[in-house]
Amino acid sequence: MRNYWIGAFTILAVAALLIPTTPIFNPNDAEKTPRSANFSAKREQTLKLSAVQNDMNATAMLCTSECSKDFQKLMNASMGSKSEANGHIKQMMHEHMHMSYISWISGDRSVSRGIIPKTTNGQAEAFVDEAKAQVSKGAKYESAAFNAKDGSRYMVLGVPDTKHTGIGVVGVIKQDIVKSVEKHQMRNLRLVPYPAEGNYKIESVKPNSTVDTTVRSGEDNANASHYHVRDVVVHFTKPLSDTEMQRIKNEINAESVKKMGDTFVFRSKNIETKQLMQYFKQSWNTEYTEPHYLYLTNETTESIVPNDALYSEYQWNLPSIEAEKGWNVSKGDEQVIVAVLDTGVQSNHPDLKGKLIEGINLVDEEAEPDDDVGHGTHVSGIIGATVNNGEGVAGVSWFNKIMPVKVLDSSGAGSTYTVAQGIIWAVDHGAKVINMSLGNYAEADFLHDAIKYAYERDVVMIAASGNDNTDRPGYPAAYPEVFAVAATDSNKEKATFSNYGDYIDVAAPGDSIASTYPGSQYAALSGTSMASPHVAALAGLIRSVNPELSNVEVMEIMRKSAIDLGDEGKDNYFGYGEIDVEKALQAASSFGGALQTYPDLVKRRLEHITTKYERN
């Protein structure tokens, strides 16, 4: 029998070599070797802390730059009277809640609105007076950041009118967004234990097991999965009768039962997961019984340069992946929907206006899928922040619609049930691409079933690999149906925090990425969570330029068009390389059918089987 299969595989391999194919692109020579991923825990922590500080600094600069542009617009607006000026300022402060105080300096027409925050020794008032003095002289002013008695962080900004001496705007800007980024990134880069045990009624365990482990530091997160302590996921071999279901509820003292297809999530009032698993395995016929795992927040063409206010100065990531050239081929299509399974999205963010379609909140089905963390809004902006509107940042896609599916709660965590439910909901409501900037180190058959459901219905699924600088496979990224993404920095090197391994498909920018953030603001965040949406947006563009492509063909085009980095060919740090939007879209627009990708698909399948056989 074994010789039969070897012979069959040989025939397939030969067939793959004989099938005619047109090259998708001319491969680049490999130039760089990635920096070693084998950091000590102390060194890794130092690098991650540096990344957090860089994100905080970049976010503060984004805040200052955006406010400066807004103040310029305020001065350029027609202000024939104090009442008109007052109206403009009132509207601006309503749209930008972080602007605590604005003073328009214009002689007799000067207008001030808002409140200067209380500080020790009148520090805020002193900064405002200095700003007004500098603006009156025609000079720009930026104070140092300071903390007020209300506990918030502020800075004072003065912007002079470049056309009229003595005229300008002075504002007190609340910068709590910087503190929010710090808190978010300490968790996102796993510098603190996350989620904290007890917060989510969860237990930390060694990956793919129920063996207890204690997470004392962020480093420990790389070797832990998490599950609900009184939950169990069960897939029965045959449907249960009402009598059988009632019996189960009585015997496990059920608190709740959730169902999706033939799979159930049982929660007991007093029996823990290990005992529940033992009960179902011994008393019932099941296909699988597993913990209810948690998933966390893991130049040949003329360039099109957007006029978005923060683009040229802060968005290194889009030129790096040749988005500016790729937009000549496709800017996206409203009919191709990209679902974002995350913490929700700020629905009224001015830079996402008109880009969102109806979504769902699966954490609280009575509420809208609003973002109470910031992660989902940031991811959505990378995919599709409005381009060429003179505001904020530019997304990778100009026209693809974004479907917000809230599967993570206010702590940035969500269960496999919710994530699986989100995948199925997105598929059933028309999503053609799904981005999952989330994950953990446990395989869950329950979630895998949902992923197979989407895959069989021709959906492209993209997932972040994780931020622990480990080669331990993270899920859902490591499932074969999912396209796994690692992160690069602005030097096209492996981002220090990025996970790696033989399951990585491609890499994309993930270091200090500027994007939309709640409060109608902008922030810079680092993580493979930021890399993944670049690839999801590319998948949306590919499906826009050639709607006939299957999900398998879309993924193969992204692999084959990637720019090779590191060791020649596919490697564990970059997969097939960093995505190239222009080459991918050119390949998609001239794609000739399945015969082009078939040899590579067969080759990779054989390599996968061989590797699996060697491991066993």
pLDDT tens digits for 546-572?
A: 999 999 999 999 999 999 999 999 999
Predicted pLDDT of residue 442:
83
CA angle 526, 529, 533 (to 5 degrees): 115
Q: Which of the four pLDDT bands, split at 50, 70 and 90, describes residue 19? A: very low
Percent of all residues in the chain with a pLDDT value above 70, rounded to a whole number: 81
* CA distance to 185, 206, 222, 293, 499, per residue, from 216 (Å): 17, 14, 12, 19, 20
Q: How far apart are CA 409 and CA 390, in angstroms?
A: 32
Mean residue pLDDT across the chain:
84
Torsions phi, psi of 507, nearest 5?
-125, 160
Q: How far apart are CA 421 and CA 361, in angstroms?
A: 11
Q: Beta strands of 192-336 (E only): which ranges? A: 202-205, 225-228, 231-236, 254-260, 263-268, 286-290, 294-296
3-state SS class at 329: coil
Between 541 and 57, the more confident residue is 541
Q: How far apart are CA 600 and CA 12, in angstroms?
A: 12
Which H/E stretch holds residue 415?
Answer: strand 413-415
pLDDT tens digits for 449-489?
A: 999 999 999 999 999 999 999 999 999 999 999 999 999 99
Q: Which of the four pLDDT bands, split at 50, 70 and 90, describes residue 106? A: confident
Which of 204, 397, 529, 544 is an active site residue? 529
Q: How far apart are CA 494 and CA 511, in angstroms?
A: 10
pLDDT tens digits for 386-406?
A: 999 988 999 999 999 999 999
Give me the helices (H) in 410-565, please. 416-428, 445-456, 528-545, 551-561
Chain-centroid distance, C-alpha 366 = 25
Q: How far apart are CA 552 and CA 464, in angstroms?
A: 18
Fill in the amino acid letter for 165. T
Predicted pLDDT of residue 578:
98
Kindly list the structural domains of the chain, giving each domain's residue range(s) and its CATH number in brackets, ordered by start: 41-177 (3.30.450), 227-293 (3.30.70.1510), 316-614 (3.40.50.200)
Torsion angle in degrees (nearest 10) through CA of 380, 384, 386, 392 = 50
Of 92, 189, 194, 173, residue with least CA distance to 498:
189
Which of 70, 342, 409, 505 is an active site residue? 342
Percent of all residues in the chain with a pLDDT value above 90, rounded to a whole number: 59
Mean pLDDT of 499-504: 96
Between 75 and 203, the more confident residue is 75
Catalytic residue status for 88: no
> With 90 as the cut, is the pLDDT of residue 295 above it?
no
Fill in the amino acid letter for 601. L
Beta-bridged to residue 131, according to DSSP, are none
Indicate the burial class of 311 (C-beta count within 10 angstroms; 0-12, 13-18, 19 or more): buried
Which H/E stretch holds residue 292?
Answer: none
User: Could you tell me the pTM of the whole model?
Assistant: 0.77
pLDDT tens digits for 280-291?
A: 999 999 999 988
The token pair that represents 411 in the structure block: 């702590």
Q: Which of the four pLDDT bands, split at 50, 70 and 90, describes residue 52? A: confident
Catalytic residue status for 176: no
What single-letter DSSP state applies at residue 578?
B
Which of 96, 375, 448, 534 is an active site residue? 375
pLDDT tens digits for 513-545?
A: 999 999 999 999 999 999 999 999 999 999 999
Between 41 and 75, the more confident residue is 75
Predicted pLDDT of residue 553:
95
> With 50 as the cut, is the pLDDT of residue 242 above it?
yes
Q: How far apart are CA 589 and CA 197, in angstroms?
A: 49
Between 445 and 192, the more confident residue is 445
Catalytic residue status for 225: no
Predicted pLDDT of residue 82:
78
Between 591 and 243, the more confident residue is 243
Predicted pLDDT of residue 186:
84
> With 90 as the cut, is the pLDDT of residue 76 above it?
no
Torsions phi, psi of 219, nearest 5?
-60, -35
Between 499 and 442, the more confident residue is 499
The token pair that represents 456 in the structure block: 């069989």
CA distance between the termini of the chain: 18
Is 459 within 8 Å of 432 (Cβ atoms)? yes
